[in-house]
Amino acid sequence: MTPAAPVTACPGYPFPARDGVDPDPGYALARATGGPVPVTVAPGRWAWLVTSMADVRTVHGDPRFSRAAATDSPDVPAAGLAPPAGSLLALDPPDHTRVRRLVAGAFSARRIAALRPAVAATARELLADLPADRPVDLVARYARPLSVHVIGDLLGVPAADHDRFTGWADAFLSTAASSAEVGRARGELAGFVGELLGRKAREPQDDLLSHLAGSGADPRETVMLAIAVLVAGHETTSNHLASSLLLVLSDPDVASSLRGRPEAVTTAVEELLRVVSLGAVGGFPRVALADVELSGVTVRAGETVIPALNAANRDPGSFDDPDRVDLARFAGVGGAGHVAFGSGAHHCLGAALARLELATGIATVLDDRPAAALATADHRWNRDSLVRGLATLPVRLGPAHPERGAAPCTAP
């Protein structure tokens, strides 16, 4: 049974869909209270919205807040974020640790660094095919195909099937589709992944699905793990890359300051991760297993908390002038200060890969198409997904750089 809500007013949550990269003003209003605030997530159901950096990190790191408990009960107010029970996103240690270990090696620093040349070659090939003299949609023609190619290759999904799994991933995260449609997409995607795993077990290759197929792990766990990697690795990165390109190309001086400077782009990516509000909902809910105090508010056992990453990343207690985009903010310090990838046990497994894709995707546009500029000041945003992002990003790319514009040669 859902605990009774506090007497204080409970604003509706999630906040209404909005355009742009900034979080809804409701997060700042909630943070101004100095602690968690109760929000209504469904008729008769409420949760604590946690918005400060310190409290979000506590919720992520304190084992008294459980992801599994938030998934196991149908009464938990999930605000739209409800991964299937048994999914990596729905487990607590030690189960979470055991399942995560199955794929952790594929995302090691060494393995990700080894992917850099292939990611750069793919980005350059995509750009080389795009016209110079008319607007091009960089969502459909660049950001999405780059991310799906990278995650598809990592997993071992045949290129001919990329369009199929992106369609399922879109439905998986849709807020406009019916529950039946979402369920059907989940089932079809699970069947597709299960079939691929069976094929990899018979004919293993050097890819993540082959590793999972030969791991001896529970087949249901491997299917759900592969789906989590597939969906998260594609949707979040492609949307973030498009939003990042929008911010960079909106200011010619900013674009110029990054062009030809890969170290500056790497630093800029950390600020872009901080400021781009990617989730339509703050974060995956957790249930308190015991009474816990957060900023003077007692969260009782059985109550739900929603840690809002996008609000924590704009916390003035953690960042000077947090609503200002300062692409040199993390120079020399890395990205340890933000929680774009979460924190604690559920820190994003693919963080290093996402950083690589973002830095490569931005730098390739700036360096290979130095005259690239936004084709319009008005942009259409997707309001029907749990992952916020641009529906289109029209850009006039201009001529290719004379020394970098051609696609890299492929040896016979």
Distance CA 333, CA 274 (A): 14
| pLDDT confidence of residue 245 | 98
Helix (H, G, I), strand (E, B) or coil at 221: helix
Helix (H, G, I), strand (E, B) or coil at 35: coil
Helix boundaries (H) for 105-218: 109-128, 138, 144-155, 162-172, 179-202, 208-213
Among the listed ranges 8-22, 39-53, 298-312, which one has the minimum average pLDDT value? Answer: 8-22
Angle at 349 between CA 347 and CA 354, to 5 degrees: 105
The predicted model scores a pTM of 0.91
| pLDDT confidence of residue 4 | 60
Helix (H, G, I), strand (E, B) or coil at 377: coil
| pLDDT confidence of residue 1 | 46
265-297 pLDDT, tens digit per residue, is 999 999 999 999 888 787 889 999 999 999 999
| pLDDT confidence of residue 411 | 34
Distance CA 159, CA 188 (A): 18
Q: Which residues of 323-337 are buried (b: 16+ CB within 10 A; e: fewer)?
A: eebebebbeeeebee
| pLDDT confidence of residue 70 | 84
For residue 40, give the H/E element and its range: strand 37-42
| Pair 56, 26: CB distance under 8 Å | no
If we measure between CA atoms, which residue out of 128, 129, 126, 158 comes closest to residue 142? 126
- Best CATH choice for the domain 25-396 from the list 3.20.20.80, 3.30.540.10, 1.10.630.10, 3.30.460.20: 1.10.630.10
Mean pLDDT of 208-226: 89
Q: With a cut of 50, say whether residue 186 has pLDDT above it.
A: yes
* Ranges of each domain in the chain: 25-396
Distances in Å between the alpha carbon of 398 and those of 134, 253, 262, 275, 368?
8, 17, 21, 28, 10
Tally of CB atoms within 10 A around 394: 17
* Rg, C-alpha atoms of the chain: 21
Q: Which residues lie closer than 8 Å to 70 by C-beta, 6 or more apart?
A: 76, 78, 90, 284, 285, 286, 287, 304
Distance CA 309, CA 60 (A): 10
